[in-house]
Structure 1
Amino acid sequence: MKKESANIKVGISVGDLNGIGCEVILKTFEDNRMLELCTPVIFASNKTISQQKSDLGINITFHGVERASQAISGKVNVVNVWKQTPEIQYGKETAEAGKYAIQSLKAAVKALQNNEIDVLVTAPINKKNIQAEDFNFPGHTDYLAQELGGESLMFMVTDTLKVGLLTDHVAVKDVVENITSKRIRNKIDIIEKSLKIDFAITKPKIAMLGINPHSGDNGVIGKEDDEVLRPVIKEMVSNGKLIFGPYAADSFFGSDVYKQFDAILAAYHDQGLIPFKTLSFGQGVNFTAGLNRVRTSPDHGTAYEIAGKSKADPGSFKEAVFTAIKIYRNREDYKEISKNPLRKQKTRASQG
């Protein structure tokens, strides 16, 4: 039986306590209408959330529980992950803040694995202070890929723009050596599957951006586009996929060509994220496609410069919650349609 919206449990890791994570979380659920859409479950502690609430002047009530399975619909629930009282130093990078960010994330992921929550929304972490003997990952994505199963893709999404990354947290000097035919096929497969299952797009069109300036200018500025990208694109097109490119990245977004596609695959991090954040900053969502469970996060970082000042805009975090719920519902619908193809035909007939 499909869950009512309010019964979808959204697990939330608080990220860096010295950043704006708790602020955007609490501001999001300060609006009681959000409780009609989902049941929020924050992984932290009553004392920590009370302190952040007081420091930031946010008017919100919450319900403390020991396990996510005890969360109550219609309330903001806080799972007591730790009993200590962390020292909060807004705007500062501290090892202590990193330690509690990891504890929150691990507890939320465990609850997701145990089906105590339905989706996961992660507040921003600091990639430096989370490093530890038992947590040696460049960020959320790699850790979640290990814990949740599946092959991950960093997918930045809005309703009208979706950008996936062929390589993500890789130094620019190492980008080319990380781009292989196997990786290109894999990432395109993940994007196509995600567009169909997570976003209900029946025949997705995907654009691939070139690696070099002007996609190599026929080998004058690099041979990778001709020798690596084009053959894979040609092969995948022959297998029935709607893949186009490689397109010169410098004019692709400015000329609005991107609007002709359901998603774009960028060759490396900044090639995709600079235009994405320019066009949608504050409303974009970082979705980890390819995993067996749904995880989203806002499109910004810890924002130490405004932490503790009650200046943070919760817009992107709120969109991350909305997106997680939509994807969860789309996946449930896809499962039902897969079990009962006649339902799909009836739906199309009723729409016609």
Structure 2
Amino acid sequence: MVTFVPQKYNDYNLKMGKSDKIIVGISIGDLNGIGSETVLKTFQDARMLEFCTPVIFASVKLMSFFKKTFSLDVPVYGIDSLDKIAHKKVNVFNVWKEQVDINFGKEEKHIGAYAIKSLEASVQALKEGQIDVLVTAPINKSNVQSESFNFPGHTDYLARELEGESLMLMVSNNLRVGLLTDHVAVKDISATITRELIEKKINTIHKTLIQDFGIPRPKIAVLGINPHIGDNGVIGKEDDEVLIPTLTNLRNNGKLVFGPYAADSFFGSSNYKNFDVIIASYHDQGLIPFKTLAFGTGVNFTAGLSKVRTSPDHGTAFDVAGKGVADHESFKQAVYTAIDIFQKRNEYEEISENPLQTNKRKPFSKKK
């Protein structure tokens, strides 16, 4: 397994100053799931605090309970105001102070309400610039539903709250898989995929590969909508009538867009290694191969938004919650990815604003 680490974080921190490390906001997710365990395990490694300052949006009493439950040595520090953030500590911003009873592995409506309290508070802090990036622990999509929160997941909620055009992008090292449609019922997929949607999503992914991943001329592969790309209309006309003409237009406008490719053989043939990103037509078409290749190290990045948000590639994992065996690697990678994208985006903005200054060559010096 290859472990991803944030690029250039030491130079970045020297530039910013020790007290101005990247502030990583964390929404705690479903309290009966594995989120709290993976968060605390991630920051049990003191080296994490060398290049970022975490702020967990929850309750310090509750996080202390989780520390004790899982026998973890983590320096949690409760704060009631975000101007009291302490570096070298794991900050816990008290979104609530009442006691919450935890029943690991159970789906409970009131626990879903606490997950949304944490999410709303963290997103507000992100919007106001009190945190730099947001990493979200998993929620249960069923128990969070209410009159005020009726979204199928984080991505749809963030699309409303933050500026930009959201796109789910799964990332693991050099493997990136984006989606034309995400949490859409299978019966509605073909009607949802329009020329306008395809152009919008591919333009979003093209921009994010440049500004967030530092790829100047991204190569984009697109998978077909129907089996065998419709077999010339025998298994559906959407590929011929919608997808292919749209990709042709994008190519004519200078983008390196390839396909559509038949989805059933694309990953098995290792063709995916030839591209910077693969765009799948729907959720399972993209996420089944991604999680097969990268489960446990994958990261969900919401591309196209004005702020950086990532999450691990797994759910609440009720089946192992509370047992102390949850693997925190994906959550750790989500923190690393958020930091790296934040840095890349800042570098891109600097280059865009001062192209002549930032393109100066460094003087050459021989090794003695």
TM over 0.5: yes
Compared CA separation, residues 33 and 16, structure 1 to 2 (3 A): same
The CA distance in 2 between the partners of 1:84 and 1:226, in whole Å, is 58
Give unpaired runs (5+ residues) of structure 1.
Answer: none
Q: C-alpha deviations, 1:116-142, integer Å up to 9, x for none?
A: 100000000000000111111111011
> Normalising by structure 1, what TM-score?
0.97
| Amino acid in structure 2 at the alignment position of 1:255 | S
- The 8 Å contact of residues 198 and 327 in structure 1, kept in 2 or not, is answered as yes
Which residue number in structure 1 is paired with residue 112 of structure 2?
A: 98
- The 8 Å contact of residues 20 and 303 in structure 1, kept in 2 or not, is answered as yes
> Normalising by structure 2, what TM-score?
0.93
State the 1:341 CA deviation: 0.6
1:290 counterpart = 2:312: no
The CA distance in 2 between the partners of 1:78 and 1:113, in whole Å, is 19
Matched positions, count:
350
The CA distance in 1 between the partners of 2:194 and 2:363, in whole Å, is 43
The CA distance in 2 between the partners of 1:83 and 1:65, in whole Å, is 11
Which residue number in structure 1 is paired with residue 162 of structure 2?
A: 148
The CA distance in 2 between the partners of 1:143 and 1:158, in whole Å, is 24
Q: C-alpha deviations, 1:299-337, integer Å up to 9, x for none?
A: 000000000000100000000000000000001101110
Which residue number in structure 2 is paired with residue 3 of structure 1?
A: 16
Q: C-alpha deviations, 1:213-267, integer Å up to 9, x for none?
A: 1111111211111111000000000000000100000000010100110001100
Matches for 1:13-28 after TM superposition, within 5 Å: 13-28=27-42
Matches for 1:1-352 after TM superposition, within 5 Å: 3-4=16-17, 7-346=21-360
| Amino acid in structure 1 at the alignment position of 2:92 | V
Compared CA separation, residues 327 and 348, structure 1 to 2 (3 A): farther
The CA distance in 2 between the partners of 1:237 and 1:167, in whole Å, is 21
The CA distance in 1 between the partners of 2:204 and 2:361, in whole Å, is 26
| Amino acid in structure 2 at the alignment position of 1:140 | H
State the 1:55 CA deviation: 1.2
The CA distance in 1 between the partners of 2:105 and 2:311, in whole Å, is 20
| Amino acid in structure 2 at the alignment position of 1:139 | G
Q: C-alpha deviations, 1:66-115, integer Å up to 9, x for none?
A: 12232111111000110111111000000111010000001101111111
| Amino acid in structure 2 at the alignment position of 1:3 | M
The CA distance in 1 between the partners of 2:113 and 2:60, in whole Å, is 17
Deviates more, 1:49-58 or 1:290-299: 49-58
| Amino acid in structure 1 at the alignment position of 2:283 | H
| Amino acid in structure 1 at the alignment position of 2:265 | S
- The 8 Å contact of residues 86 and 96 in structure 1, kept in 2 or not, is answered as no
The CA distance in 1 between the partners of 2:363 and 2:253, in whole Å, is 29
Give unpaired runs (5+ residues) of structure 2.
Answer: 1-11
State the 1:349 CA deviation: 9.1
The CA distance in 1 between the partners of 2:218 and 2:232, in whole Å, is 28
- The 8 Å contact of residues 350 and 358 in structure 2, kept in 1 or not, is answered as no
The CA distance in 2 between the partners of 1:47 and 1:235, in whole Å, is 56
Identity across matched positions, percent: 62
Q: C-alpha deviations, 1:2-22, integer Å up to 9, x for none?
A: 535871000000000000000
Structure 2 SS opposite 1:101: helix
The CA distance in 1 between the partners of 2:162 and 2:118, in whole Å, is 16
| Amino acid in structure 2 at the alignment position of 1:332 | N
- The 8 Å contact of residues 167 and 267 in structure 1, kept in 2 or not, is answered as yes
Structure 2 SS opposite 1:306: coil
| Amino acid in structure 2 at the alignment position of 1:15 | G
Compared CA separation, residues 134 and 256, structure 1 to 2 (3 A): same
The CA distance in 1 between the partners of 2:152 and 2:357, in whole Å, is 43
The CA distance in 1 between the partners of 2:17 and 2:192, in whole Å, is 43
* Structure 1 consecutive aligned stretches of length 4 or more whose deviation exceeds 2 Å: 1-6, 343-350
Structure 1 SS opposite 2:323: coil
- The 8 Å contact of residues 95 and 121 in structure 2, kept in 1 or not, is answered as yes
| Amino acid in structure 1 at the alignment position of 2:80 | E
| Amino acid in structure 1 at the alignment position of 2:201 | K
| Amino acid in structure 1 at the alignment position of 2:38 | V
Compared CA separation, residues 348 and 129, structure 1 to 2 (3 A): farther
Compared CA separation, residues 267 and 348, structure 1 to 2 (3 A): farther
